[in-house]
Structure 1
Amino acid sequence: MAKAKNPSGRRPQTVQPAIAGAAVAAEPAAPKKRTSIPQFASQVRAEGRKIVWPSRKETWITSVMVFIMVLIAAVFFFVVDTGLAFLSRFILAIGQ
């Protein structure tokens, strides 16, 4: 179900303090309850079961894609570096 909008279509504005620079008192946060080591280990195992590991095929395809992108980047930077080296040698040769 969709939420009803205000007649103006805008969100209601928050109320600002009357005095500029007035500090807003924050409620003190309740101290966090400490988790025991067995409870922590249980939570870690539960989170570990939620992980969706990639298949061997997905890992292989992703690795090949990364290798191809590295090759493309290497060729690009080689061409740019060679072009800039040629350009700088050409400019420096003009002055001699």
Structure 2
Amino acid sequence: MAKSKSPGGRRTGNPAAGAKPQMAAAASASTVAVDAPTPKVRTSPAQFAGQVRAEARKIVWPSRKETWITSVMVFIMVLIASIFFWIVDAGLGFASRFILAIGQ
């Protein structure tokens, strides 16, 4: 477990003794100030289009090989999930038929 540090980077107090009493009193006497929300600046359509283009340039498209591998992995996982649910469905169907057959 990492030891907490003061903002100056130096450790304060005795770690075995816990926090100092004056620090606890100062913490309980402090108040929390909430800043007023800043008004939103409207963006012109030209600026918006420029920002969209700038973000679009950051996109890294997967290669054909990465797309193929990912698609195969998705297909394998779908196959495994479908087999799992088929087995669970068959087991629950068998169990429900067995329980209903007891009552007849």
Q: Same fold, TM exceeding 0.5?
A: yes
Are 2:64 and 1:51 equivalent residues in the alignment? no
Q: Could you say if the C-alpha distance between residues 62 and 8 of structure 1 is closer, same or farther in structure 2, counting changes exceeding 3 Å? A: farther
* Partner AA of 1:32 in structure 2: K
Q: Aligned Cα RMSD in Å?
A: 3.0
2:13 maps to: 7
Measured in 2, the distance between the counterparts of 1:7 and 1:50 equals 48
Are 2:93 and 1:95 equivalent residues in the alignment? no
2:50 maps to: 42
> Cα distance, 1:41 vs. partner?
0.9
Q: Could you say if the C-alpha distance between residues 77 and 8 of structure 1 is closer, same or farther in structure 2, counting changes exceeding 3 Å? A: farther
Measured in 2, the distance between the counterparts of 1:8 and 1:71 equals 59
* Structure 1: 5+ residue stretches without partners: 19-23
1:32 maps to: 40
> How many positions carry a matched residue from both structures?
90
Query: 1:19-73 deviations in whole A, cap 9, x for unaligned?
Result: xxxxx66332231221111111111111111111111110111011001100100
Runs of 4 or more consecutive aligned structure 1 residues displaced over 6 Å after TM superposition: 10-14
* Partner AA of 2:78 in structure 1: V
Measured in 2, the distance between the counterparts of 1:78 and 1:25 equals 58
Q: Could you say if the C-alpha distance between residues 44 and 4 of structure 1 is closer, same or farther in structure 2, counting changes exceeding 3 Å? A: farther
Q: Give the TM-score taking structure 1 as reference length.
A: 0.74
Percent of aligned pairs sharing the same letter:
63
> Cα distance, 1:16 vs. partner?
4.9
Measured in 1, the distance between the counterparts of 2:43 and 2:51 equals 10
**Residue aligned with 2:92, SS:** helix
Q: Could you say if the C-alpha distance between residues 4 and 25 of structure 1 is closer, same or farther in structure 2, counting changes exceeding 3 Å? A: closer
* Structure 2: 5+ residue stretches without partners: 1-8
